[in-house]
Structure 1
Amino acid sequence: MPGLAQVFSDLIRYETRLYNAVGDVLRAEHGVSMGQYELLRIIGGRDDCRVADIAQEMAITVGATSKAVDRLEAAGWVSRRPNPENRRSSLLGLTPEGRRRLNTATKTFERELRVWLGDPLTARSLEVFAATLARLRRTVEDARAGMPTG
């Protein structure tokens, strides 16, 4: 059985390099950072998305999320509209340019995931790996561990 410290190290180093490698290609081909792509993907996948929803999903602070959304809005990729249920928050949506950018970048994102995640594993190994990661994610999320403060 491998040591847990080595498993942790391999997981973190792989995640970091995968994130950077995919991000480099997204930036070069679409002018979108990995972080921006993730935000566009979350906003584009939800009706009536709020900054707090993104912060919860990504386990980052509301302040950091709000600043990131401000940058997407300034780029013309995201729009805000008043939240009829809570005047203190806004609802986010993709602009036509944001939707176009997300759609074209998604093809590249999926291609790069196949190269770095799908191709090195057999279908069965990927299935087991996905189930294992989902279980581990649920474990920390159910425990509300690792949530940002502030």
Structure 2
Amino acid sequence: MADTPDILQLSSTWIRILNKMDAMEKCPRDFGSGDLLHCSEIHTMMVIGKRPDINITDLAASLGITKSAISQMISRLEGKNLVEKCRNPDNDKEILLRLTPHGTIAYLGHEQYHAKIYARMQEKLGDMTPGQFRFIATFLGAIEETADEFTQEQP
């Protein structure tokens, strides 16, 4: 088991990473469509791009946010002509979502952006062993579980 100073050092590094990620989330980017997109917008589009004709309920579950939040997000993305709604031909009450051609440009641009990030990380982590990767996965899983537990404890 790690000593308290080790846990505090990891915690301090983790907080710095969270602050940097938060700053990145707040800074919109153009992924080739000419639209400045926030992370929440492009990540919503990424799920839709990977699962065309997804419904709002499944999209909300996939992203871990409420259907109300997804509905607001879809309205914004529709306004930018990036996402379109259509009725399910088998269930007239169900709304399905897909990317427009304009949205597909941003989707593909974001895929290229991630490929660049992954390549850079591969350069930095390329000599790690499978055991080291498993350790990191366990570590990140523990952080996520702890975050989930504290989120559930909030009144």
* TM-score, scaled relative to structure 2: 0.68
In the other structure, the counterpart of 1:17 is 20
Find the aligned partners of 2:78 and 2:99 in 1 and give their Cα distance.
Answer: 9
Question: Identity of counterpart residues, as a percentage?
Answer: 22
Find the aligned partners of 1:47 and 1:104 in 2 and give their Cα distance.
Answer: 17
Tell me: CA distance 1:108–1:61, structure 2 relative to 1, closer, same or farther (3 Å): same
Q: CA deviation at 1:98?
A: 0.6
Q: CA deviation at 1:101?
A: 1.4
- State the structure with bigger RCO (CA 8 A, min sep 6), 1 or 2: 1
Tell me: CA distance 1:22–1:67, structure 2 relative to 1, closer, same or farther (3 Å): closer
Structure whose residues are more often strand by fraction: 2
In the other structure, the counterpart of 2:125 is 121
Aligned length: 143
In the other structure, the counterpart of 2:29 is 27
In the other structure, the counterpart of 1:49 is 54
Alignment of 1:1-150 (within 5 A): 1-3=2-4, 7=10, 10-18=13-21, 20-21=23-24, 24=27, 27=29, 30=32, 31-115=36-120, 117-124=121-128, 127-128=133-134, 131-132=137-138, 135-136=141-142
Unmatched tracts of structure 1, length 5 or more? none
Find the aligned partners of 1:23 and 1:106 in 2 and give their Cα distance.
Answer: 19
Q: CA deviation at 1:129?
A: 5.5
Tell me: CA distance 1:20–1:89, structure 2 relative to 1, closer, same or farther (3 Å): farther
Q: CA deviation at 1:93?
A: 0.5
* SS of residue in 2 equivalent to 1:89: strand
Amino acid at match of 1:81: C
Q: CA deviation at 1:7?
A: 4.4
Tell me: CA distance 1:90–1:122, structure 2 relative to 1, closer, same or farther (3 Å): same
Amino acid at match of 1:17: K
* TM-score, scaled relative to structure 1: 0.70
Find the aligned partners of 1:133 and 1:95 in 2 and give their Cα distance.
Answer: 38
CA contact (8 A) 2:48 2:98 kept: yes
CA contact (8 A) 2:56 2:70 kept: yes
Amino acid at match of 2:125: L
